[in-house]
Structure 1
Amino acid sequence: MEFSQTELLSFFTEVSPFVRNLVIGLFAFGEGLPVIGSFLPGGTVAILIGALSEKGIMNSWHAVHIIALGSMLGDLIGFYAGRNLNKVSWFKRFVHGENHRKKWDLFDRHTAIVIILGKLLPVIRSTPALFAGARRMNIFRYIFYVLIGSYLWAIAGVFAGKYIAQVAGDYIIPVIFAIVVVSILVAIVSRFKKSS
């Protein structure tokens, strides 16, 4: 059976809003998790949701809130994982050791920029949370910065998807799925190149 844009649209319209929101939120949550988030094409999915909102399937701002809050919750898991990793000796030496002091001092001075702008960079999107927790950053400052970054990322993705849908018309869904597949393949290939 051939997959078509109308089948995707009918799937999203036939599921309940709760299920649709849950799937979007879980994907955004996974995108915010350390390690896992590096493999998920979160930006592309935000663009897809923006394209679907252009088709009238859901409200754009509603999608932005779901994506931003889901991603932020994933980042908070990463933040607390970083705090707990301080108990592991090799990680503690890496984050608090004298050999890396200058690098971590730079991270500490520019944490806001790293967290906010890091949300916009696909491969490293989930790692600032881990290191902010490991460096024992104040949780309220962290939440403030990650909230800004998550909303910037969600707004950029959703409204880029809306714009691309207006320009590409009926070809938007196949184009976005092709981008998702290519971005997953690029992430896998780059991981294999680094390990070899």
Structure 2
Amino acid sequence: MSGSSPEQWVTTLMDTLGAPGAGIAIALESVFPPLPSEAILPLAGFAASTGKLNLLAAVLWTTAGSVVGALALYWLGAWLGRDRTVALAAKVPLVKASDMERAEDWFARHGRKAVFFGRMVPVFRSLISVPAGVERMPLPVFVGLTALGSAVWNTAFIMAGYALGANWKEVSGHVTTYSKVVLGVVLLALVALVTRRVIRSRHQRRRD
């Protein structure tokens, strides 16, 4: 990819391999994003509008790529397992064992919905695969939910790129704003959590 932008690299990949190239780009994006899916998918839709890709093939191959990338992170979570995850979390300041227990309880109750809907949320699209692996969600269930959620996300963005044609970059602009809002909400929640923990810690030290 030296000497070319990520966008040019993805374009070359699709020009060379067709729809499977878009699938490979999405699989790589899921693990180590050279270019966000919000850019790859509309670009694939634009390519389909020009006849370079088959529209249905683009949807199927990018969904397959999403599943492959998600499986890589699922197996990472499975390899880490609960003990390693708890040990790593224990090294993070202000994180308690009870936090892990609550997270486990939450995933036990809402894991399936999280895997499905998480595929439609920037950043969490990839990250949700790790706790699914840690908790050893049944593989057929994980693959099925990942494929369904990814198919919805991928189809929406490919069709948007297909409809907009040469103006496909407009899609990325709107999603960038959406991504920033999501990340902003998460950061505010983390700041609130840390602030509450710090205040509790100070009060505890004063009582002691």
Structure 1 length normalisation: TM-score?
Answer: 0.71
- In the alignment, what sits opposite 1:123? 123
Pick the structure with greater CA Rg: 2
- In the alignment, what sits opposite 2:23? 25
Q: Which has the higher contact order (CA 8 A, sep 6+)?
A: 1
Preserved contact between residue 80 and residue 134 of structure 2 (Cα < 8 Å) = yes
> What is the Cα deviation at residue 92 of structure 1?
7.1
5+ unaligned residues in a row in structure 1: which ranges?
A: 1-7
- In the alignment, what sits opposite 2:138? 138
Preserved contact between residue 85 and residue 92 of structure 1 (Cα < 8 Å) = no
> What is the Cα deviation at residue 158 of structure 1?
0.8
> What is the Cα deviation at residue 97 of structure 1?
4.0
5+ unaligned residues in a row in structure 2: which ranges?
A: 1-7, 188-208
Name which of 68, 77, 82 aligns with 1:73. 68
- In the alignment, what sits opposite 1:157? 157
Identity %: 22
Q: 1:145 to 1:174 in 2, by over 3 A?
A: closer
- In the alignment, what sits opposite 1:5? none
Q: What is the rounded CA distance, in whole Å, between the counterparts of 1:174 and 1:42 in structure 2? A: 12
User: Which amino acid is 1:28 matched to?
Assistant: I
Q: What is the rounded CA distance, in whole Å, between the counterparts of 2:138 and 2:89 in structure 1? A: 18
RMSD, aligned α-carbons: 3.5
Structure 2 length normalisation: TM-score?
Answer: 0.67
Across the two proteins, how many residue pairs are aligned to each other?
A: 169
Q: Deviations over 1:80-100 (max 9, x none)?
A: 000111263624769x94433
Residue 54 (structure 1) aligned with residue 52 (structure 2):
no
Q: Deviations over 1:7-66 (max 9, x none)?
A: x8xx76x944x3x33431221101222xx24x7411221011112212222111100011
Give the ranges of 4+ consecutive aligned residues of structure 1 lying more than 4 Å apart after TM superposition.
173-176
Q: What is the rounded CA distance, in whole Å, between the counterparts of 1:140 and 1:45 in structure 2? A: 27
Name which of 29, 37, 44 aligns with 1:42. 37
- In the alignment, what sits opposite 1:102? 102
